[in-house]
Chain A
Amino acid sequence: MATPASSTAAQLDEALFTFLLRMGDNTLVLGHRVSEWCGHAPVLEEDIALANTALDLIGQTQMWLGLAADVEGQGRSADDLAMLRDVWDFRNLLLVEQPNGDFGQTIMRQYLFDQFHLLLLRALQDSADDRIAGIAAKAVKEVGYHVERSAETVIGLGDGTEESHGRMQAALDWLSPYVGEMFVSDEIDAEMATRGIVPDPASLRAPYDAALAEVLAKATLSRHEGDFAHQGGKTGFRHSEHLGHMLTQMQWLQRAYPGAAW
């Protein structure tokens, strides 16, 4: 990040800033992915529902990245952060940048994230930082609905026809290696947890696994053994190749016409 880490105060800002980028980049990238479905969904009602989810996520992005920009204090806006950073400065989970694939992969990715997102936001409502608690209190209502809808759709398709079951199992197999990264704690998480701002993500693992197991059982889907997890999204160390392609679209106008107002 651009902020120098020379004093204790600056270090604190750095950790907070990074945490806020993680929140905002998750919602930005996933919101963008979901919006790619607009006009192409399986049925009109689903087209409208997916757009609602994307709109909620974009709205949350404005709040998280807006706060990140304030905390950074360098005069950047939420839009600057969204449109003018390159891949290595993004701090989203690898899960959310994965391509849509078929509808099964999209809705499985959505559920896997929603369940985590809900647990995290619930905990963030009690954050020692009022600004974070405030955003979480608003977002948790939206995400409560997201998880209801994505879980029910995963269950319906998993338990549906032979074809839908096969596609959902394939989606789960494909995305399972992206689950673990959500619960890996690093020094940023540790500092935020010590200050009472953010829960330790590792603490969310047990309730997540319990909720996931319940949904998968209803969906007649099974997780493979092993807990291999791809990593490198939330630290920004190594994103997947997909994020860069997404950014070439998302940021194109801002990059092609620098300084223009839209």
Chain B
Amino acid sequence: MYAQMVKSEATQDDPEKLAAFQARIDAGEKIEPKDWMPEGYRKTLIRQIGQHAHSEIVGQLPEGNWITRAPTLERKAILLAKVQDEAGHGLYLYCAAETLGVSRDELTEMLLDGRMKYSSIFNYPTLTWADMGAVGWLVDGAAIMNQVPLQRTSYGPYSRAMVRICKEESFHQRQGFDIMMKMAGGTEAQRRMAQDALNRFWYPSLMMFGPSDKDSVHSSQSMKWRIKMNTNDELRQKFVDQTVPQAEYLGLTVPDETLAWNDEKGGYDFAEPDWSEFHGVLKGNGPCNAERMRARNAAWDDNAWVREGLMAHAAKKKAAKVAAE
């Protein structure tokens, strides 16, 4: 997911306070910034929301890669609007994290020097126009699986950010599928592009949900705190069950020979992605990790003068106003 393998912080607080806190969460109450919360809850949330925000920001890059090459004026506008939304979603999430006592610049610095992570999916390159379809259809499709339940998460500011994000995201997956329909129903070259995009994005999309529950050590505390709403395997299964018929509709082949409907469980059996690749990508060895970080560092460093200049002007204006009063 956009937040993968978020480490839960152990918490060493007064057991009575902890019990009262857990009771509030169990009763479905929202925790607000000024409320008492366990230090582990706060730290885990900063890590999770921060990682989610970073993913939105880095996630601008693979799709931004095609804005200047979009094939029509309308496609250009739609893609630009979508990538712009991702910047907005990053912004909402950073703001939610800021209510927990960390600043956006601090979070940004932690992304840029590698102390914080972002989703593995954005370290894959976008090579053809069909990748704009596949990213919208599969990557946004996978993200939505996780984000819709997160609207009910226990932390108020996070929950409200997710409500806004889900409302805005609803067009993202559709625009992706719309591109895929055009490509799959187009010329021979376009059909090839569409199949190629599915081939390259299928397993990285499955990896977005994180490792299997049996290997995921941080899930249970986060689920107890209602900052993680479903297990990784539940969401992955749901995603496959939803996506396979859509691929069939497009006349495309999911690149998994073992894929088969299982009547007994009422879902598809499917092959696991290569988890060693996943761990490699998280360590920095994905196809685009270095480039993504270089692009984000350049945007931040090369434009520091802009942020400083506007701040200096604001300070001068304020001083002049005070002097005039």
Contact = CB atoms under 8 A, between A and B. Distances in A.
Interface string A65-93: 10000000000001100110000000000
A43 interface: yes
Nearest to B302: A102
A52 interface: yes
A253 interface: yes
A55 interface: yes
Nearest to A256: B189
A249 B129 CA distance: 13
B90 A44 contact: yes
A48 B91 contact: yes
B151 to A, nearest CB: 22
B84 interface: yes
A12 B57 CA distance: 50
B68 A51 contact: no
Given A58-B76, A79-B73, A159-B313, A41 B303 contact: yes
Contacts of B311: 160
A187 interface: no
Contacts of B187: 257, 259-260
Given A163-B305, A253-B69, A260-B189, A38 B60 contact: yes
B308 A38 contact: no
A148 to B, nearest CB: 15
Interface stretch (A130-138, A149-157, A228-236): A149-157
B148 to A, nearest CB: 24
A240 interface: no
Contacts of B70: 253
B295 A42 contact: no
Nearest to B129: A253
B87 A44 contact: yes
A42 B306 contact: yes
Contact of B299 (A39, A48, A83): A39
A44 B84 CA distance: 10
Given A39-B61, A163-B309, A261-B182, A55 B71 contact: no
A58 B306 contact: no
Interface in B44-72: 57, 60-61, 64, 67-72
A45 interface: yes
* Residues of B in contact with A, size category: 35 or more
Contact of A161 (B74, B75, B90, B312): B312
Contact of B75 (A47, A167, A262): A262
B307 interface: yes
Nearest to B190: A260
Given A156-B310, A257-B189, A79 B72 contact: yes
Contact of B68 (A35, A47, A103, A155): A35
Contacts of A42: 299, 303-304, 306-307
A177 B306 CA distance: 24
Contact of B309 (A51, A157, A249, A257): A157
Contact of B73 (A36, A44, A82, A253): A82
A252 interface: yes
A155 B310 CA distance: 9
Nearest to A42: B303
A164 B313 CA distance: 10
B306 A43 contact: yes
Contacts of A51: 80-81, 83-84, 87
Contacts of A52: 84
A250 interface: yes
Contact of A160 (B61, B94, B179, B309): B309
Contact of B69 (A45, A55, A252): A252
A61 interface: yes
Given A156-B314, A157-B313, A48 B84 contact: yes
Interface of B: 57, 60-61, 64, 67-77, 80-81, 83-84, 87-88, 90-91, 94, 129, 179, 182, 186-187, 189-190, 295, 298-299, 302-314, 316
- CB-based closest 6 A-B pairs: A164-B309, A160-B309, A42-B303, A39-B60, A51-B84, A262-B71
5 contacts: A35-B76, A44-B94, A55-B77, A55-B80, A249-B69
